[in-house]
Amino acid sequence: MNGSCLEFKNPIQDAISRVRFAPQSNNLLISSWDPCLRLYDVDCSQLRLEAPSEAALLDCCFQEEYVAFSAASDGSITRYDLHSGISNNIGNHDDIATCVEYSTETRQVITAGFDKRIIAWDIFGAKPLVYLRNLDAEVESMSLSGYELIMAVGSSVDIYDLRNSDKCVQSNKFCMDVPIRCVSSIPYLKGYAVGSVDGRVKLEISYPSSSNNMGYMFRCHPRSRDGRNHLVPVNAVAFNPFISGAFVTGDNVGYVTAWDAKSRRRLFELPGCANSIASLTYNNEGQILAVASSHTYQEATEIQRKPPTNYCA
């Protein structure tokens, strides 16, 4: 598998928080702690937009091809017109905003943060926002597929139906109260995968035409050191949108591994990166994988100085 690194005239100076491909093109959205939102055209190897922010950006997402949103460390949720570069604040959390998703089904921006709230921002209707839930813990990661909103809350996976968000549809405890680092929906099936801080990955898959649902857990990314295997946190999981059961995981020491969910086998491992894997995303055709190598915000209190962050495709 061939890979290349994107070149920036003004290199990203701090941790990358999220990379996401556009819905219909190979434009790549990059949020970071430096703080700035960037739009990069992978096909042309050109930076299309660089939009500075007043606070570190912890997440980003597309609404459509040239409209995006970000969640920031000051709690702000911002909308961007990627053609003009104009941005406007649509609202604020009371604490750090960690996650942002856009629902095409409900036409709402769904956000979560350290204020232990899930908020749906109605950017088209008369009501500016609807409080979905007050939680008992902070939201570390969030993923949306159709009407199904999946969140990592402490060591649990909580699932909500956006058509009736008054109560949690399902809550699954991970294992021995181990905190979850990331959660990712499966784009073509009902299900998800989670990665934990102790190096385990759990999959839950429901097949609509079969009662044979799949669910299992495995230990991921063991690293040999001093003759012993050491398990490291899994920071990111991404499913290939076109190859059923194919997904990748990225760990805290810079490795990306591809897996086959059906056969429960490891397919291959990419060459190691200098920093942690902060985020992973496939393009809409499943042919390009974007890998953000960076220290993560979970490591921020421990890091004094790191090499410049980078992105590879």
Per residue in 65-81, pLDDT (tens digit) is 999 999 999 999 999 99
DSSP string, 173-195: E-STTPPEEEEEE-TTSEEEEEE
Burial class of residue 213 in the structure, from the number of CB atoms within 10 Å of its CB (0-12 exposed, 13-18 middle, 19+ buried): exposed
Task: Assign domain 13-134 to its CATH architecture.
Answer: 7 Propeller (2.130)
Evaluate whether 13-134 and 141-301 have a shared fold: yes
143 versus 155: the higher-pLDDT residue is: 143
Q: What pLDDT sits at residue 208?
A: 63
Look at residue 182 in the predicted model and tell me its pLDDT.
95
**What is the C-alpha to C-alpha distance for residues 165 and 154, in angstroms, rounded to an integer?**
20
pLDDT confidence band for 13 (50 / 70 / 90): confident
Q: What percent of the chain has pLDDT over 90?
A: 60
- Whole-prediction pTM: 0.88
Where do the structural domains in the chain lie, given as residue ranges?
13-134, 141-301
Nearest to 222 by CA among 192, 189, 188, 257: 257
Comparing CA positions, the residue from 53, 51, 52, 91 lying closest to residue 75 is 91
pLDDT, residue 77, reads 96
Residue 250: what pLDDT? 95
pLDDT of residue 294: 86
**Homologous superfamily of 141-301 in CATH?**
YVTN repeat-like/Quinoprotein amine dehydrogenase (2.130.10.10)
The top-scoring range by mean pLDDT among 35-49, 158-172, 186-200 is 35-49
Task: Find the DSSP H helices in the chain.
Answer: none
Count of CB atoms within 10 A of residue 252's CB? 25
Residues 213-254: tens digit of each pLDDT: 778 999 885 666 565 667 789 999 999 999 989 999 999 989
SS3 content of the chain, % helix, strand, coil (to 5): 0, 55, 45
The predicted model gives 159-167 an average pLDDT of 85
Q: Report the alpha-carbon distance of residue 6 to residue 313 in Å, rounded.
A: 8
